[in-house]
Structure 1
Amino acid sequence: MTPPGASEATRLLCAGTYMDESYRDAVIDELYVHEERFAAPSLGIDAARVLAHALRARRLQLGWAAAILLVWIVAVPLSSGLAVLYLYPIAVMALARFMSGLTFLPPWLSVIGPFVLRWYGRISLLVFLVVLLVAAFGGGDGLAGFGRSLLPDLLSPDSGPDYSTYSAMDATSAYDASAGSGFADALAVWSTLLLLPAVAVLVALQRGQFARALADELSRERFPDVMSDPAERAEGLRFRRLRDRVRTEQHGPLMMYRAANPFCGAGVPYRTWSLSVELSPRPDRTTEPLDNAAFLERIVPLVAALRVPSPHGSPERAAAVRDRLRALEIDECVFLPAEGLPSRAAAPYAPAEFEEHRAEAVEEGGETRRHFLRIRVGGWNEGVVTTVFVRVHTQGGMLMLEVAPHVLWPLRQLFQDADRIAHQYRHHHRFGRAVWALAATPRSAGQALLTLLRGLLSLWRLGTGGYGAALPEGPAVSVRELGSYNESSLFQDMDVARYLKTIQQRVAAGVTTALREAGYRTEEFEQRVVHVAEGGTYIESAQGAIGIGDHNTITHNATTPRGAASKGSKKSGNG
């Protein structure tokens, strides 16, 4: 079985930190800045390795952003301020991108407005470059008033010396001054003209570094070797300390949660249901004591048997079965609230401490400390993770069964296309790469400035937030959930449905077996679980009219007593 740190989902999430700035900043904010927060469970991935690449990607991008802004800063005095004129068409094109993202505009304006602004900015930039080219190759004196308005100080004939009444020595001095002024004018024009190609080279090199990273340390061949990953070898005591803590918390059976989102990290709830039935003794035998652990002892072997392929006639054919149920994982986990702990290091992650909590929580049926049987299936290279949380409790002659399935849906399409994008860039011809770099150059200055501002803001929050001394909190977001987009294909939907139905069937069979062996009746439980597990509602008795099927109209004239109205329907069944 592939370890979480070498899974395909981890590799794509690491690649996503180089491609999506918002995702990278969210990962750093959750796992690096807010060090008081516990790490969310990382099902099928290694969040610490994603954090390592997020920090590395930010360092690299900050370096490239500083280099791009340095080129602009150097070009402004060299060009005598002429390079500032680039900002006008760049601002117009930026306004077009901003306008296209406004949702409150009329549809016609949100299409025509950005189109006009975009081409106006492009034409303005092209005209400015043409004027620069003419001035660079000595055509400045022949330009019309439009050219002189753009380059007033460099192309005006009045800027030259006056030769009317001077001696020979004065003429020589005037010639030297004219030559110096001509050199300064040429330097200004050529500095302005070469600014865009220089920035385009930096943009191309930055893109090339990302493509090389996908072909090197983030490739499918090298990624499983964690020790050779340059992101893992990053210096910094804070990073190493938080990396070790994340790896302790993310895969452990202890879940430190916040009350608002206890299942953070498990994904989207998927047809959660619960069932309660009366424990009715059978008249033909004496009942035996039946606690919560007894139910788990019957459920676990039945679920674990799903790993074994059905008979195929030969061991070779059975071994060739690649069903993801063969890698099904089963463990017991305990949910504890993060509130009340003095520090993050005080959480009981030690094996002896956890075992004490597990033994107490399995029978107590508490509100804040809860025990669950966790059953996990990682399909599609951990791209679709199905997790079923099962809780059984008996109280006052009643049996309560809670089943909370959760699904982590596939990663963002941009992350899944990382290899394709990098391969296309590496194998693209030079002319295509040059065109791409030139097209991305106008917005590179604004992006570089925003990158540096975000980096400074993160450092400011890190230095002034006081998170290291704050009381511990449960996880706010999950690295894996941040990288999902909650869309799936029909094949993936079919797999999730198959996993859930199979696991829920075995869970129900385990509970039925435990009831039967302890001398209790099972008819009511078997009847109800069929309805509730499928997302329906079991109705023991009904009064009035009941509609079955589509396009029914039911009229009921009775007055509903005050306070008897329901709060609304759910997708989950209720016993």
Structure 2
Amino acid sequence: MTQTTVPPQPPGPPPQGRPAGRRPVAPWASEAGRSLCAGVYLDPVFRHQVIDELYVHEERVVAPSYGVDAARVLAHALRARRSELGWAVGVLLTWLLAWKLTAGLFVWDLLLPCLLLSLAAGIAKPRKGPAGTRVLAAVVRFYGRLLLVLALVGQVVSIWVRGHRERQDNGVLRTFWDVSSFVDVQERLMSEQWRFEFFRDIDGSGLQSGWGVLLFFTVLALLAGLQRGQFARMMAAELSPQKYPDPKNDPAEKAAGLRFAKVQRWIRNEQFSAVVLYGTAKPFCGAGLPFKVWNLSVELRPRTDLEDREPAPLDNERVLEHVVPLVEALRVPSPRRRPQAAATVLDRLRELVVDECVFLPVAGLRDRYEVPCEPDDFQEHRTAAIEEGGEKRRHFLRIRVGGWDEDVVVTVFVRVHTQGGMLMLEVAPHVLMPVREAYREADGIAQRYRNNSRFGKVVWAVGHAPRSLTTSVATLGRGVVSLWQVLTAGHGGARPEGPRQAVRELATDLDSSLFQDMDVVRYLKTIEDRVTGGVKVALHEAGWQTGEFEQKIVNVGSGATYVGEVHDSAVNFGEQGSATVENKNKGKPKRSSGGKQ
């Protein structure tokens, strides 16, 4: 599910006093959000995690959503679960009827190959697992398919042999080769007695023979094909690139119940709020995987060229006032020889978002309705937090760039603090890695099925029908667990908790392309240079020395830059920086230590 074109942006001049830029795509209409909505239909585990975090545990405050709308993903997750539960009930009823009407013949013949094929699918689920695991999955899959083919072919042979014997006993075959009695043969074939003998295997007690096995397996294949056809039609309708940007006409949101309506209001009030409620264990939940936080501190010493003039007081807000304009200027394309060329620049830095946020611990709130999400609440906390330098309530400048249609999101949290004649600068970069490849390929999966031949669809349905049993049992099991927790766990009356997982983080892939890694490094280096440049200007204009600050910036920025697995501290700066552990992807450092990362 990929798009190479940039979404259309609203025209119009930029606000007064702010650099020219391009407004990023709305979170509820982003390509990354569409991929997540498709993912809840393709991945039952992801769907269950979304429902558990956002719907079952209603006491948990939602994590910030960068580039997606978590409420819309939840709406599709609930819709997908309702649909899957219906299909699961149909599959299990088919198995129960087959077990009853075939006197256990269907179960005994097909249960083992179905279980083996389901086991093989589970073993092979990690696409890039160990080679031994993939070999084991291939062996189990081959053995399961072999047993399935032998079982079905055996039933066909038994039907043919039985029918052949009965036709011989009725004299049909003997008279068939007698040309002189051709009219007699026609009479025999059309007689009620012969039709009863030939077709009795498919009614009444005849279901206990091979006809019953083939009939019920055909029903399972039909259910599997209809289910995939439903997904393909949905991807061409409400989840298509043309219709998805219009959330008002989304059937998933229209089918919401009272509980979902309540949770939806909470999510949409909290996920984009400038007041971030956090749990102590994961304060930056939702921003992605962190780079190692780097910081530096310098002594505030007056400049020697001030003569008798005292340096001006330098507080945290004054420093940020110098940083913000320099960062926002990254939205402006560099001068071109042709002025019209600047308007064609597609650099994602033009969509850079700069805002301020205040992190508050969720501990102490008595009810989720008390979560301070209004603009007035933010202004109150910002005024108090920007200078206090507290441990629990923290003020950050938040700088975000959503690249690759919000598929790769870089967020840099900047905090400045002055205390005891020292200036301290803290920078916490985070990266949301790409959405899982299977989710991004949902359009291709649906189109491939729609455009397939009838024979191809039949083959696909026959191949996926055996796994429907375990899938249906798992679907019903997850549904029962969720319902039981909603009814008995008391989450609705519990004290609010911080988010445990973010929807966007649950759907991330651990691999990214080299182009994406290069962009992440470029965004981070560019933003960090502008941040440190703004701090230096603030020091100089206030009358403080900048030499020590400049030297420390040079020291922490002079190390090598590794363009590799960025999501796991692949970027390492500093004289003492080193990449010590490599992951399975050769040449991509997994962890770094020392210096500025």
Which interval holds the TM-score relative to the shorter structure? 0.7 to 0.9
Q: Is the 8 A contact 2:152 2:214 kept in 1?
A: no
Please report how far the alpha carbon of residue 78 of structure 1 lies from its aligned counterpart in structure 2 after TM superposition. 2.8
SS at match of 1:284: helix
Q: Hey, what does 2:156 align to over in structure 1?
A: 130
Equivalent in the alignment of 1:117: 143
Structure 1: tracts of 5 or more residues without a match: 144-175, 537-546, 551-567
Q: How does 1:316-465 map to 2 (within 5 A)?
A: 316-465=340-489
Amino acid in structure 2 at the alignment position of 1:272: V
Say if 1:378 and 1:181 are closer, same or farther in 2 by CA, change over 3 A. Answer: closer
1:133 CA drift (Å):
2.6
| Whole-angstrom distance in 2 between the partners of 1:47 and 1:417 | 20
How many positions carry a matched residue from both structures? 513
Distance 1:548 1:511 in 2: 24
The corresponding residue for 1:279 is: 300
**Cα distance between partner residues in 2 of 1:13 and 1:372:** 28
Displacement, 1:443? 1.6
* Residues 310 and 318 in structure 1, CA contact (< 8 A), matched pair in contact too: yes
Q: Percent identity at matched positions?
A: 52
Please state whether the residue corresponding to 2:39 is helix, strand or coil. Answer: helix
Amino acid at match of 2:369: A
CA pair 183-306 structure 1, distance change in 2 beyond 3 A: closer
Contact 1:8 1:381 in 2 (8 A): yes
> Contact between 1:264 and 1:475, CA under 8 Å: does it hold in 2?
yes
Q: Which residue of 1 aligns with 2:532?
A: 508
Q: TM-score, normalised by structure 1?
A: 0.83
Give me the whole-angstrom Cα distance separating, in 1, the residues matched to 2:529 and 2:116. Answer: 61
Relative to structure 1, is the Cα distance of residues 572 and 67 closer, same or farther in structure 2, using a 3 angstrom cutoff? farther
AA paired with 1:407?
V
Q: Distance in 2 between matches of 1:382 and 1:467?
A: 32
Does the Cα contact within 8 Å between 1:273 and 1:533 map onto a contact in 2? no
Aligned to 1:532, which of 540, 544, 556?
A: 556
Q: SS of the residue aligned with 1:385?
A: strand
For 1:186, the equivalent position in structure 2 comes to: 206
- Alpha-carbon offset, residue 140 of structure 1: 7.4
- Residue equivalent to 1:161: none
CA 25–508 in structure 1, closer or farther in 2 if over 3 Å, else same: same
8 Å Cα contact 2:363-2:497 kept in structure 1:
yes
Please tell me the residue identity of whatever aligns with 2:331. R
Distance 2:218 2:490 in 1: 44
Instruction: Give SS of 2:34's match.
Output: helix
Q: Is there any run of 5+ residues in structure 2 with no aligned partner, and where?
A: 1-22, 170-195, 561-574, 579-590
Q: Quick check: 1:93–1:122 contact (8 Å CA) kept in 2? A: no
Q: 1:77 aligns with which of 81, 86, 100?
A: 100
RMSD: 2.9
Structure 2 CA distance for partners of 1:451 and 1:128, relative to 1, 3 Å:
farther
Larger radius of gyration: 1
Q: Counterparts of 1:55-70 in structure 2 under 5 Å?
A: 55-70=78-93
1:473 corresponds to: 497
Q: In the alignment, is the contact (CA less than 8 A) between 2:123 and 2:134 conserved in 1? A: no
Aligned AA for 1:467? H
What is residue 45 of structure 1 aligned with on the other side? 68
1:299 aligns with 2:320: no
Change (3 A) 1:336 1:95: closer
Contact 2:221–2:464, Cα closer than 8 Å, also in 1? yes
Change (3 A) 1:224 1:571: farther
Q: Which amino acid counterpart does residue 195 of structure 1 have in structure 2?
A: F
CA distance in 1, matches of 2:124, 2:445: 25
1:261 equivalent in alignment to 2:285: no
Matches within 5 A, 1:189-268: 189=209, 190-268=211-289
Aligned in 2, Cα 1:55/1:140: closer, same or farther, shift over 3 Å? farther
Give the conservation status (yes or no) of the 8 Å contact 2:70–2:267. yes
TM-score, normalised relative to structure 2: 0.80
Distance apart, 1:137 and its partner CA: 3.5
User: Helix, strand or coil for the counterpart of 2:524?
Assistant: helix
